[in-house]
Amino acid sequence: MSYPLVRDLAAEGIPVRLTCGVLGHSRQAYYAWLTEPVSQRELDDAYLTNALIDAHSDDPEFGYRFLADELERAGHDVGERRVWRLCSQQRLWSSTVRKGRRAAGKSPGPAVHDDHLQRDFTAQRPDQVWVTDITEHPTGEGKLYCCAIKDLFSNRIVGYAIDERMTAQLAVTALRTAVARRAPTGVVVVHSDRGSQGGFNWSSQHLDPGGVVWPRRTGGRRRAMFPRARAGSGGLTARFGRRCARPVGRIRRGWCSVSSGG
């Protein structure tokens, strides 16, 4: 916008008519801008952008659709198309890049690690292998998300968490519940599919001492296909996963396997 230039030149004595003619503006449009330099639409966009930046900082895995839901919960009346435009302007991309759609300059998604189960969904003892998934459940008051952790040996749910938001904290709470309830003494393989939440990566910094840690593999990502995790009976709504390794100097608590929802 060059209206500020017209205003500055007018203050130096250069006629508005001359400057607008050179720049290709109408004087009526300039004087309308001078009366209200910032339109209400631009002001609303600024407020929405600040709200989007805050929401994306809390959950960097969220794309523009989830961010639009967050704004709606906060009381903003805004469409997905407008949210997409504002996110594009501010480069608020989801930290998880979809397979086959990675664009140059974007941050890589979660590293792909070894699948410890190798399609063998069996266990010889309790607390040897846990599988986990997040499911979406529509209700009369909105959506609820459930993260469940199931023991493959007993086929029982050993931990779960429910929330109205699909965030990393949901996965962390479910894993903490399972660890507190079962108190495993040996190595536990936690198997999940690869996906958008990254909750178990986040949990490695938030579990109590003796918890699990997911070290990233260095180097580029490799494409791989793994079996679907067998936790939950509903449709998959989010995928997450990291390979867990025993931290040096801590109790042997768990390893985490990873697979793709495929």
> Tens digit of pLDDT for each residue in 179-196?
999 888 888 888 876 554
**Are 253 and 173 spatial neighbours (Cβ–Cβ below 8 Å)?**
no
Write the DSSP assignment of the chain as a string of letters.
Answer: --HHHHHHHHHTT--HHHHHHHHT--HHHHHHHHHSSS-HHHHHHHHHHHHHHHHHHH-TT--HHHHHHHHHHTT----HHHHHHHHHHHT---SSPPTT-PPTTSPP-PPP---SSTT----SSTTSEEEEEEEEEEETTEEEEEEEEEETTTTEEEEEEEESS--HHHHHHHHHHHHHHH---S--EEEEEE-S--HHHHHTTTSPTT--B-PPPPS-------PPP---SS-EEE------BPPTTS----EEEEEE--
Mean pLDDT of all residues in 221-241 = 35
pLDDT grade for 158, boundaries at 50, 70 and 90: very high
Higher pLDDT, 76 or 250: 76
209: left (phi over 0), alpha (psi -120 to 50) or beta: beta
What single-letter amino acid sits at 86?
A: L
**Are 83 and 102 spatial neighbours (Cβ–Cβ below 8 Å)?**
no
Indicate the pTM of the whole model: 0.40
Domain boundaries, the chain: 3-35, 40-90, 129-260
Q: Among the listed ranges 23-32, 42-51, 172-181, 238-247, which one has the minimum average pLDDT value?
A: 238-247
- Note the pLDDT of residue 260: 36
- Note the pLDDT of residue 161: 93
**pLDDT, mean over the chain:** 71
CA distances from 114 to 239, 251, 261 (A): 16, 22, 15
Q: Of how many residues is the chain composed?
A: 262
pLDDT grade for 97, boundaries at 50, 70 and 90: low
